[in-house]
Amino acid sequence: MNRRVLVLTERGSGREGRRRRILAVLAVLGAVAGSWGVGQVLASDPIAYGVPFWPFADHVDRAEQRLLSDVAAAARAGQFVGSDEVEVVDRTSKDDGVVYLRMRMHVDGETRCREAIIRGLSGLSSRRVDC
C-alpha cells in the first residue's frame, strides 16, 4: 500500500521572508505618506479640485461652492452677478461665450477672493487668489 504524506514548509522563512516583510512595511508607509500628501493638496483649495466635501472642505468651503454655483448660473444667463455676498472686481466677456470673473466673496464672516472662468453651459473652472 502506498502512503502519501503532505509536507508543508513554512513560506517566507529566513532571509527571503524578512525582505518580504520589510518591503511590505515600506509599501504601506509609502501609501500612507502619498495619501497624506494628496490630501494636503486637495485641502488647499477643495472647490477648484472638485472635492467640496469632508474631509477636505469645511462648512465655509461648502458655502463658497454654493455661492460660486449661483454666480455661475447668473453669469451664464447674462444677469448681474453681484450681491451682498459677492463683489465682482473684474468681469470680461468674450464673443465665444466665455466669461472671466474676479470676485470677492464674503462667506460666513470670511472674505475670500476667487477667479472663475465660465465656458458655455457646462464649463466652470476657478482658483483661489489673494485679495
Within-domain flag for 115: yes
Within-domain flag for 113: yes
In the structure, what pLDDT confidence band is assigned to residue 22 with cuts at 50, 70 and 90? very high
Within-domain flag for 84: yes
The count of other CB atoms within 10 Å of the CB of residue 43 is 15
Within-domain flag for 7: no
**Total count of domains within the chain:** 1
Q: Which tens digit of pLDDT belongs to each residue from 56-99?
A: 788 888 888 888 888 888 888 777 776 788 888 888 888 777 88
We report the CATH number of the domain holding residue 78 as: 3.10.450
Within-domain flag for 31: no
Per-residue confidence (pLDDT) for residue 24, from 0 to 100: 94
- Distance CA(4)–CA(31), nearest Å, equals 45
Per-residue confidence (pLDDT) for residue 78, from 0 to 100: 74
Q: In sequence order, what are the residues at sequence separation of 6 or more whose Cβ sits closer than 8 angstroms to the Cβ of residue 52? A: 46, 61, 62, 64, 65
Q: Which tens digit of pLDDT belongs to each residue from 30-49?
A: 999 999 999 888 888 888 88
Q: pTM, whole model, 2 decimals?
A: 0.65
Per-residue confidence (pLDDT) for residue 23, from 0 to 100: 93
Residue-range definition of the domain harbouring residue 83: 60-129
Per-residue confidence (pLDDT) for residue 12, from 0 to 100: 53
Within-domain flag for 121: yes
